[in-house]
C-alpha cells in the first residue's frame, strides 16, 4: 500500500467518490476542493502522487488552470508524479500537459481499475525522494562545441566573483539556465536566486514587485510586502528581458544598483541590500543605447561581464548531443527507455534551422517520444515548424489567415514559449490559447 495521494478537484461528489475508491490503495487520501492551498499541502503531507483536475472556475474548460498548477508543482517538486484529471477528452490538452511534466492523463468518467493502475504506475518508487531541486545539482548541459567550451571556461572564471553579468542570446538558447549555473558556482549558492521577468512586468507593478510596498501605499496594498530585490538579499538577483524595461524605470533601477539600497513604495526608509546582479536579454542593448532607448550608465552598470550564447544553428555539432540527452530524459519519463534515434530522424534534425534554438529542439524531442510507436524515433515523429516561405504573404487572402500566420511565426520565433508569445503579440495567454484553438495551431 502506498502512503499518500493528494486529489485536487472542485467537485465535492468526485472527491467523495475518489476517497472511497482510493482508501484501499493509499494509507492517506488528502482531498482539496480548490488548488489555493495545493503547494502548502504538498509540503505538509508529502504525497506519492497528485491527481489534479484541469478546471476550477465555473464556465471555463480550457485546462489552463490545471496547466498553471502543474507547472508550479514541477517547478518546486520536479520528482513528484502528477496525473491530470479532466472531463474533456482532448488529445492536444493531454500532450500539452505531458509536455509540462505530467506523468499521465485520465478522462472523466473514469474506469476504476484503469485509474488505480495509472496512479500506482506513476508513483515515485523510492521513499523519501520528494524534494526541491538541489542548488548543488547543475541543470545546464555543457556541450563540447568550441563556442560552448570557451563559454564554460569564462563562466568558471567569473562565477566566484560578484561582477555584474549581462547574458545575451536569442530566445531558447538557455540564458536562464546559464544564470542559474553562475549562481550555483558562486559563493552565494546557498542563498536565494530571485528571478524577475521584466518582459512580463507592467510599468504600474514595477516598483511594487521589485521594491516592495507598505500597507496602505495603494488600494490593494493590504499588508507590508518585501520586493524581489529584498528577497534576493545575500543571493543573486536575475533580471530577465531587461531590454524591455521602460526608460523611466531604468533610472529607478540604476539608483538601486548604484546605492545598493531600496525603499518600499509608501516608505521613506532606505533598506541596505546585498545581491549579485545578473541580467539577460535577446536584444542588442548597445544599439538601443545609440538610439537613446536604453540608458548608457545603466548599460555599463549591468555589463561588467558580457556573455553571449550563440544560437543553435551556429553550432550545429551540438544538435544531436542535445537531442540524445533530451531523448534519454523523456524516454525514461514516458516509460520508453529503449527508444533510439533513427538515422533518418537524425538527418531531419540536422537539416532543420532551429530558430527556436534548444527550447524548440527539446519540445520537438518530447513530442516525438510521446507519439512514437516503435523502438526508434522516426523522422515522421518530429513535428517541426518549417521556415516561413518567401511567398507566404501572397498566399494569405483573409485577415484570419494573416492572424494565424502571425501567431505561428511568433511561436516558432519564441521557441513555443507561450508566455513570451503572448507578451510579444500584446495579448493575454488566455486570448492566445483561444486563438490557437480557433486556428488549430
**Residues, the chain:** 441
3-class secondary structure for 293-322? CCCHHHHHHHCCEEEECCCHHHCHHHHHHH
How does DSSP assign 97-152, residue by residue?
HHHTT-SEEEESSPPHHHHHHHHHHHS-SSTT---PPPTTS-------SHHHHHHH
How many other CB atoms are found less than 10 A from the CB of residue 171?
21
Angle between helix 12-22 and 112-122 (nearest 10):
70
pLDDT, position 92: 64
pTM, two decimal places: 0.59
Among 358, 381, 404, where does a domain finish? 381
Give residue 136's pLDDT band: very low, low, confident or very high (50, 70, 90): low
Q: 155 and 300 share a domain?
A: yes
Q: What is the pLDDT of residues 366-413, one digit of tens each?
A: 999 999 988 999 999 998 877 654 344 445 456 777 788 888 888 877
Q: 57 and 156 share a domain?
A: no
Q: If phi over 0 gives left and psi between -120 and 50 gives alpha, with beta otherwise, what is residue 212?
A: left
Is 386 within the bounds of a domain? no
pLDDT, position 208: 81
- Mean of all residue pLDDT scores within the chain: 83
Q: 275 and 413 share a domain?
A: no
Q: Is the bond into 109 cis (omega within 30 degrees of 0)?
A: yes
Q: Is the dihedral of CA 439, 67, 140, 348 positive or negative?
A: negative
Q: 411: which 3 cell numbers?
A: 511561436
Rounded-to-integer distance, Cα 270 and Cα 260, Å: 9
Range of lowest pLDDT (98-102, 164-168, 301-305, 347-351): 98-102
Provide mean pLDDT across the span 56-61.
Answer: 54
Please report where in the chains the cell 504600474 appears, as a residue: 204
Whole-number Cα distances in Å, 221 to 141, 212, 218, 232: 42, 10, 5, 21
Q: 344 and 397 share a domain?
A: no
Q: Among residues 114, 119, 58, which one has the least CA distance to residue 84?
A: 119
Task: Provide the domain count of the chain.
Answer: 4
Is 235 within the bounds of a domain? yes
pLDDT, position 63: 61
Amino acid at each position: 500500500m502506498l502512503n499518500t495521494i493528494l486529489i485536487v478537484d472542485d467537485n465535492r461528489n468526485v472527491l467523495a467518490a475518489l476517497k472511497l475508491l482510493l482508501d484501499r490503495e493509499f494509507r492517506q487520501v488528502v482531498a482539496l476542493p480548490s488548488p489555493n492551498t495545493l503547494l502548502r499541502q504538498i509540503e505538509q503531507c508529502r504525497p506519492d502522487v497528485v491527481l489534479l483536475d484541469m478546471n476550477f472556475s465555473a464556465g471555463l474548460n480550457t485546462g489552463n488552470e490545471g496547466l498553471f498548477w502543474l507547472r508550479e508543482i514541477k517547478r518546486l517538486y520536479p520528482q513528484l508524479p502528477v496525473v491530470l484529471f479532466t472531463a474533456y477528452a482532448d488529445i492536444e490538452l493531454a500532450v500539452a500537459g505531458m509536455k509540462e511534466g505530467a506523468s499521465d492523463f485520465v478522462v472523466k468518467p473514469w474506469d476504476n481499475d484503469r485509474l488505480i493502475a495509472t496512479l500506482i504506475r506513476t508513483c515515485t518508487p523510492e521513499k523519501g525522494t520528494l524534494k526541491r531541486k538541489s542548488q548543488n545539482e547543475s541543470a545546464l548541459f555543457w556541450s563540447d562545441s568550441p563556442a560552448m567550451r570557451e563559454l564554460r571556461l569564462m563562466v568558471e572564471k567569473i562565477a566566484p566573483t560578484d561582477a555584474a553579468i549581462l547574458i545575451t542570446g536569442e530566445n531558447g538558447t538557455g540564458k536562464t539556465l546559464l544564470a542559474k549555473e553562475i549562481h550555483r558556482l558562486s559563493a552565494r549558492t546557498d542563498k536565494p536566486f530571485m528571478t524577475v521577468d521584466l518582459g512580463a512586468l507592467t510599468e504600474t507593478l514595477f516598483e511594487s514587485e521589485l521594491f516592495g510596498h507598505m500597507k496602505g501605499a495603494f488600494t490593494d496594498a493590504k499588508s507590508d510586502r518585501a520586493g524581489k530585490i529584498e528577497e534576493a538579499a545575500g543571493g543573486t538577483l536575475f533580471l530577465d528581458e531587461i531590454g524591455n524595461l521602460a526608460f523611466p524605470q531604468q533610472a529607478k533601477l540604476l539608483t538601486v544598483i548604484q546605492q545598493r539600497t531600496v525603499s518600499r513604495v509608501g516608505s521613506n526608509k532606505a533598506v541596505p541590500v546585498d545581491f549579485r546582479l545578473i541580467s539577460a536579454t535577446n536584444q542588442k542593448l548597445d544599439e538601443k543605447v545609440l538610439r537613446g532607448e536604453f540608458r548608457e550608465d545603466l548599460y555599463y552598470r549591468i555589463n561588467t561581464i558580457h556573455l553571449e550564447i550563440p544560437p543553435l544553428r551556429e553550432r550545429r555539432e551540438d544538435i544531436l548531443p542535445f537531442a540524445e540527452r533530451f531523448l534519454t530524459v523523456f524516454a525514461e519519463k514516458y516509460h520508453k527507455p529503449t527508444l533510439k534515434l533513427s538515422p533518418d530522424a537524425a538527418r531531419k534534425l540536422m537539416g532543420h534551422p532551429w530558430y527556436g534554438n534548444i527550447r524548440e529542439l527539446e519540445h520537438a524531442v518530447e513530442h516525438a517520444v510521446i507519439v512514437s510507436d516503435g523502438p526508434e524515433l522516426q523522422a515522421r515523429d518530429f513535428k517541426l515548424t518549417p521556415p516561413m516561405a518567401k511567398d507566404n504573404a501572397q498566399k494569405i487572402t483573409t485577415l484570419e489567415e494573416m492572424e494565424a500566420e502571425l501567431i505561428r511565426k511568433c511561436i516558432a520565433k519564441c521557441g513555443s514559449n507561450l508566455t513570451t508569445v503572448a507578451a510579444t503579440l500584446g495579448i493575454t495567454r488566455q486570448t492566445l490559447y483561444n486563438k490557437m484553438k480557433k486556428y488549430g495551431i
